[in-house]
Copies of this chain bind each other. A is one copy, B any other.
Amino acid sequence: MISLSSLSRTPIYQQIIEQILAQIACGALVPDQQLPGVRNLANDLGINPNTVVKAYTELEMNGYIYSLQGKGSFVKKRDGDNNLVSIKLEEVEKDLNILYQLGIQKSRIEEILNRVFSGGHHE
């Protein structure tokens, strides 16, 4: 369900976050569906439970899941923008500003934008 790449230098907890986000986005995980327990997932991945906790905590702070002590962690219903969207938008804007300062052509960005947003499996 979730697989780690030890070759990658992106942190374990980040890899978990990204994969869960992807599964929520593509519908593999639906609202109120229970996520694997922190110990189960940690055992499956051969890591420390607290690393999973870190991933879950961040997902919760960003409004993607909710956790109930003693019960488990579950997928949350989306309600408009959440923190992650805001953060990523800010990141993109910051990078675009730098690229603009570096004198890159606007069309270069538009090409990327069109390519990414024609992936097809949305709307």
User: Which residues of A are in contact with B by a Cβ distance under 8 Å?
Assistant: 18, 21-22, 25-26, 78, 84-85, 88-89, 91-93, 95-104, 106, 108-110, 112-113, 116-117, 119, 122
Contacts and interface: CB of A to CB of B under 8 A. Distances in A.
A91 B88 CA distance: 11
A91 B96 contact: no
Interface residues of chain A: helix, strand, loop or mixed (majority)? helix
Contacts of A100: 116-117, 119, 122
A73 to B, nearest CB: 19
A96 B117 CA distance: 8
A104 B116 contact: no
Contacts of A122: 100, 103
Contacts of A21: 98, 101-102
